[in-house]
A and B are shown apart, each in its own frame.
Chain A
């Protein structure tokens, strides 16, 4: 039995849910196994910042009791990790920053609450780039996360801890947040699935704000089907987030089984140009071949303004960040400098000590573009170009159902190789940022490996509220391929 259970316990979420429902395993056994795996792997990976052992076992016991009482739902008893940008009542929520090193959240984020209500067992909080600013997880105050496929490489970011934890099979699922690619890019670099829903589908309440018009909670898991099940529990209207969308609940798994006959896949010619590594292009082209065998058709589309997405993003996101992060001033919560001469000095020293270099840089960029005399030239201009990009996508979706390309122009890169060149780091998000500017959903799924054995991610994007369709395409691909089943060498 033990042997059988060990095989089951690293399986995708949907299989674990079936094993729990069939009482082949209890939530307590599953949680104990997850905690053992975290203990074994975390010293090498640094994926978790906080492990809530006692709380997790209490929640697992409650999940088992709910099942015995006939009150279990599809996710009851499944362990989950939350990115440390999401508030968890009574548990440290550091945001990867010295500023919040000892901050204990006074309430739960909406998505944390929703997954708890669904009976999921939160086991801990995952490492991340400070305030979700980064593409490699090297900007964490608590040290970098290592890629389970090769410890000398980054896992991507900013949800790098969540990506590494799922990739190494420490947990079957983790939450993430995606402001410019922070779920999809680490999912790609770590060889797992990462879903960024439509803006407004999941409430931002309790998500420590970075760029409010772009921040999107989502999930990381082994399969597209698992992502659908998780989104079913996480989505929903929340009056406490004024941008949360009030629309009828839907079953995001409803189209998983639909054949791909006649599905039109848009291929933006801008996504297959120079700058993308040949092994990445080759893997995507092979994946497109599989999708065509399943009945899909490809159509070339054009997104002429999409090359402006990174410049636009690096005006809008820092502008919003400079405003959002003004709340960290050493007065109401978080770090306060030990010595200061007066109030202004207290603010300046607190923020100089509490924020890392990249966060400071983005606050400075944002402060500049919003400052007197520059607003029209930068922020207003960026919002206008943002509309041009959104129009490109709207026109493209008149010709196709989904848009497919690489998630990232490269596979994972070596730790330290881009930390001294912010612009080079920003270009990792060249294919993902447009989805945040337009608010459209996207999922990255594994579709191959490069010559070094590092995973390649394929980005499937869809129209607003097109989650069911992109999950359908991803699931059908995963039925005929096994990239998502490959387990990295650093998994315990």
Chain B
């Protein structure tokens, strides 16, 4: 089923990407093309097939529960668009 402009707005909202009214229809058309291509896969009978999430079906290893990282706070925080006193600054969220 083709996507509506409202579908596009809803997905964009979930993805936290602003889509302007001017670009919404072009986005919708291109997504429709992609979902039409993907649609062929949905018709396959996969009853009883175990999903494959890893190319080698490997189990993720466990490590010892101990601190292995050293302190990189300064090196990483200096990359932030806005930081002060060891805190990331964002617009006020609590009135």
**B-binding residues in A (CB < 8 A):** 103-104, 106, 198-200, 213-214, 239, 242-243, 245-246, 305, 308, 310-312, 314-315, 322, 326, 329-336, 340, 342-349, 351-352, 355, 360-361, 363-365, 367-368, 371, 377-378, 380-388, 390, 421-423, 426, 436-440, 464
- Known contacts: A322-B15, A363-B17. The answer to whether A343 contacts B90 by CB under 8 A is yes
Q: Does residue B53 face the partner (Cβ distance < 8 Å to A)? A: yes
User: Which of A311, A348, A383, A421 meets B40, CB within 8 Å?
Assistant: A311
- Known contacts: A311-B40, A332-B88. The answer to whether A106 contacts B52 by CB under 8 A is no
| Contacting pair B56 A365 (CB below 8 A) | no
The listed residue with most A CB atoms (<10 A of its CB), out of B38, B42, B51, is B38
User: Which of B8, B19, B56 meets A352, CB within 8 Å?
Assistant: B19
| Contacting pair B42 A371 (CB below 8 A) | no
Chain B residue with the shortest CB-CB distance to A436: B55
Residues of B within 8 A of A104 (CB): 79
What's the Cα separation between A38 and B92 when bound, in Å?
A: 48
B8 to chain A, nearest CB (A): 8
Residues of B within 8 A of A384 (CB): 44, 46, 49-52
Residues of A within 8 A of B51 (CB): 380, 383-384, 386-387
Chain A residue with the shortest CB-CB distance to B8: A364
| Contacting pair A245 B27 (CB below 8 A) | no
Chain B interface residue count, CB cutoff 8 Å, equals: 49
User: Which of B79, B81, B91 meets A342, CB within 8 Å?
Assistant: B91
Residues of A within 8 A of B2 (CB): none
A-B contact count (CB 8 A): 163
Residues of B within 8 A of A330 (CB): 81
Knowing that A342-B93, A361-B34 touch, tell me 7 more A-B residue pairs with CB under 8 angstroms: A315-B41, A329-B16, A332-B79, A348-B16, A368-B31, A383-B53, A385-B46
| Contacting pair B15 A333 (CB below 8 A) | no
Chain A residue with the shortest CB-CB distance to B10: A371
| Contacting pair B30 A390 (CB below 8 A) | no
A135 to chain B, nearest CB (A): 14
B25 to chain A, nearest CB (A): 14
Residues of B within 8 A of A351 (CB): 15-18
The listed residue with most B CB atoms (<10 A of its CB), out of A106, A198, A464, is A106
Chain B residue with the shortest CB-CB distance to A344: B16
Residues of B within 8 A of A213 (CB): 53-55
CB<8 Å pairs between A and B, sample of 25: A103-B79, A104-B79, A242-B60, A243-B54, A308-B44, A311-B41, A314-B34, A314-B38, A331-B90, A332-B76, A333-B80, A344-B16, A352-B18, A355-B17, A361-B34, A364-B8, A364-B27, A378-B42, A383-B53, A384-B51, A387-B52, A388-B49, A390-B52, A426-B37, A464-B56
What's the Cα separation between A351 and B15 when bound, in Å?
A: 9
Residues of B within 8 A of A371 (CB): 11, 14
